[in-house]
């Protein structure tokens, strides 16, 4: 009986410790975001990173290398991510996951699993805004907040930014570059969030394969159905399935 009581007490203490840790992390993130807003609305430019030269978007990788990249934009579909990671591990392939700040703030452990698998995290903004329709200050907030949340939870300094909906303008490009980011678009879009047909997703992903292809997709049920087949197609045709950073190097 004493052993049972001790086990229950330990469980209670562990539960309290986890709750305290989660509350503490949320408080730290909230204080950090308040500081970001204060600096922005005070008229300061958050020049945390430096850059020089023209700003531009990247639509494909280095065409001299036989590499392709699968780019997974993540705001939802969390339940499909671990099965995707299992497929990537089985196929010895690497991937870049562009995460939204709102999603990232609630998925610390899953982001760490992504990184443990040798994959890459990229920035997909905080609230999934159309960046060509928001102010410079809002562009800064969307990018910087997501950067700081992922850094706080994983220790990773992201440097790739995928604009939600592919919406950007010169202001977006300049802001992203100011914060040390390259703006990433895509070569092929599976449109899997809209067209929930596995064969259609597969056909779009593998059409006219070229060195340096950047292939956009999302964690959906139908994407997962053909995820392994897409990787097989490229590997069987001599392509390496690599992270975006490796592809554009």
Of 107, 112, 109, 118, nearest in space to 74 by CA = 107
How far is the CA of 91 from the CAs of 33, 65, 84, 100, 210, in angstroms? Answer: 39, 20, 11, 26, 20
**Contact between residue 40 and residue 137 where contact means Cβ atoms under 8 Å apart:** yes
- How confident is the model at residue 26, as a pLDDT? 54
**Which residues, in sequence order, are CB contacts of 200 under 8 Å at separation 6+?**
none
- How confident is the model at residue 63, as a pLDDT? 97
The b-or-e profile of 129-161 (16+ CB within 10 A means b, else e) is bebeebeeebbbbbbbbbbbbbebbbebebbbb
- How confident is the model at residue 223, as a pLDDT? 98
- How confident is the model at residue 39, as a pLDDT? 39
- How confident is the model at residue 22, as a pLDDT? 53
- How confident is the model at residue 14, as a pLDDT? 47
What is the mean pLDDT, run by run of 10 residues, along the chain of 249 residues? 35 48 51 44 33 79 98 98 98 98 98 98 98 98 98 98 98 98 98 98 98 98 98 98 98
List the structure tokens of 67.
């590499």
The residues pairing with 120 across neighbouring beta strands, listed in sequence order, are 96
List the structure tokens of 216.
């956009």
How far is the CA of 163 from the CAs of 35, 82, 198, 218, in angstroms? Answer: 24, 24, 25, 14
Q: What is the 3-state secondary structure (H, E, C) of the chain?
A: CHHHHHHHHHHHHHHHHHHHHHHHHHHHHHHHHHHHHHHHHCCCCCCCCCCCCCCCEECCCCCCCCEEEEEEEECCCHHHHHHHHHHHHHHCCCCEEEECHHHHCCCHHHHHHHHHCCCEEEECCCCCCCHHHCCHHHHHHHHHHHHHHHHHHHCCCCCEECCHHHCCCHHHHHHHHHCCCEEECCCEECCCCCCCCHHHHHHHHHCCCCCCEEEEECCCHHHHHHHHHHHHHHHHCCCEECCHHHHHC
**Contact between residue 158 and residue 150 where contact means Cβ atoms under 8 Å apart:** yes
Please tell me the distance from the alpha carbon of residue 141 to that of residue 147, in angstroms, as a whole number.
Answer: 10
- How confident is the model at residue 209, as a pLDDT? 98
- How confident is the model at residue 190, as a pLDDT? 98
């Amino acid at each position: 009986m004493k052993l049972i009581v001790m086990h229950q007490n330990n469980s209670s203490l562990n539960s309290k410790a986890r709750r305290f840790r989660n509350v503490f992390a949320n408080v730290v993130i909230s204080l950090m975001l308040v500081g970001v807003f204060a600096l922005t609305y005070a008229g300061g430019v958050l020049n945390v990173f430096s850059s020089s030269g023209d700003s531009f978007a990247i639509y494909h990788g280095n065409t001299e290398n036989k590499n392709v990249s699968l780019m997974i934009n993540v705001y939802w579909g969390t339940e499909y991510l671990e099965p995707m990671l299992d497929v990537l591990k089985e196929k010895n392939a690497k991937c870049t996951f562009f995460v939204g700040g709102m999603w990232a703030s609630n998925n610390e452990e899953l982001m760490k699993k992504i990184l443990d698998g040798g994959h890459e995290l990229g920035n997909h903004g905080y609230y999934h805004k159309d960046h060509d329709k928001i102010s410079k200050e809002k562009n800064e907030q969307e990018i910087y907040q997501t950067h700081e949340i992922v850094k706080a939870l994983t220790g990773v300094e992201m440097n790739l930014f995928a604009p939600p909906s592919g919406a950007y303008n010169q202001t977006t490009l300049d802001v992203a570059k100011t914060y040390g980011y390259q703006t990433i678009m895509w070569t092929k879009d599976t449109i899997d969030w809209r067209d929930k047909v596995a064969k259609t997703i597969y056909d779009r992903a593998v059409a006219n394969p070229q060195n340096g292809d950047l292939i956009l997709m999302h964690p959906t049920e139908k994407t997962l159905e053909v995820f392994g087949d897409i990787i097989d197609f490229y590997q069987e045709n001599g392509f390496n399935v690599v992270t975006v950073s490796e592809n554009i190097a």
